[in-house]
Copies of this chain bind each other. A is one copy, B any other.
Amino acid sequence: MSWSGGAQHLPLAVKQRVKALKNLQAQYAQVEAQFYRDFHDLEKKYAAFYQPLFDKRSEIVNAIHEPTEGECQWQVGVQEGAWGEMEREPVGKGQTNGIPHFWLTAFKNVKILGRMIRQHDELVLEHLEDVKIKFSGFEEPMSFTIEFIFKSNEYFFNEVLTKTYQMRSDPDDSDPFFSKGPEIISSTGCEIYWKVGKNVTVKTSKLQKCEGRSSVVSTTRKMPSYSFFTFFYPPDSPEGRVLDVATDYKLGYFFREVLVPKSVLFFTNEASEYKYESSDDEAREAGGEEKKVEVIRNEEPEKGPEKDLDPEETVSLQQ
């Protein structure tokens, strides 16, 4: 029994009064749920106010807009920080477009993301053009979506990868006092349409072994490869997810509240206040061993060059 605090032996009359208080607390939870809905609407309202600033950021990052001298002058109060201490290099204006690898660099400066992003992921993430947070509509169930917007690239056909986090927005029988407030209750990624041989979430190796005297059997092993992009996969896919559910939810919230709104501070690595707090569990999850699930198929002996993976084959891994 979890009861303690010296209140076990209360007279029945007092217990009845406490029951009345608990009923009041359940009524409070109903009003609180409305508060959280209003709060969500306030966030949406401000998302619209922030959007022009995010649009301008994207234009500068992607070389659509070249900032004027005035836009590059430090504003009153803006500290140069480590950035300002660096030696100035000769002007090379025009030689480099925009801010190359802006999002990749920002991501890598977040500890847990830095661990998730492997070398093969970096080549893909260099094509990441923008990241946006979209809130659910006013009449829809509460949720938010992280949109990862990519330039046309050699890895997949998608222009946008999405991850949506569904939230519980009301107290229910399992939590009549709404003790956790609106919390993420599930997440949904998206299907990635990898181009042939470009799926960085699997790796193939070919083994040859002799069977009998004259035949050589070539065996292709497809192994899940530790990758940031499993972030978009369902948790029960063979590639699995590199994150446990709790960390996935925490990371989703971190994208929404911190990383997307304040990405430049991560690019410059000045965001020490926002260090994503990773527990040992997360460290283990994110830095741990690659999953040992193997897909082994016997194939006909062949002599030609190695074939690229067929995308259908790869997709079948996810079923």
- Indicate how many identical chains form the complex: 2
Question: A83 — which chain B residues lie within 8 A by C-beta?
Answer: 3, 15, 18-19, 22
Residue of B5, B79, B271 near A269 (CB, 8 A) is: B5
Given contact pairs A12-B90, A28-B50, A91-B13, A23 touches B78 in the complex (Cβ within 8 A): yes
Which residues of chain B are near A171, meaning CB under 8 Å? 77
Residues of B within 8 A of A46 (CB): 31-32, 34-35, 38
How many residues of A are in contact with the other chain, CB < 8 A? 94
Our pick among B60, B72, B179 for the contact of A265 (Cβ within 8 Å) is: B179
Alpha-carbon separation in the docked complex, A14 to B14 (Å): 70
Q: Please report the C-alpha to C-alpha distance between residue A28 and residue B34 in the assembled complex, in whole angstroms.
A: 27
A96 at the interface (CB under 8 A from B): yes
Interface residues of A in 67-108 (CB under 8 A from B): 67, 71-79, 81-83, 85-86, 88-96, 98-100, 105, 108
Nearest Cβ distance between residue A133 and chain B, in whole angstroms?
13
Asked if A205 CB lies within 8 Å of chain B CBs, one says no
Residues in B neighbouring A26, C-beta threshold 8 A: 75, 77-78
Tell me if A31 and B5 are in contact (CB < 8 A): no
CB–CB B20/A77 < 8 A: no
Q: CA A98 – CA B16 in complex, angstroms?
A: 10
CB-CB under 8 A for A94 and B13, given A77-B173, A273-B179: yes
Question: Are the CB atoms of B35 and A67 closer together than 8 Å?
Answer: no
Distance (Å) between the CB of A178 and the closest chain B CB?
Answer: 10
Tell me if A74 and B42 are in contact (CB < 8 A): no
Tell me if A212 is interfacial: C-beta within 8 Å of chain B.
no
Complex Cα distance, B35 from A94, in Å, reads 37
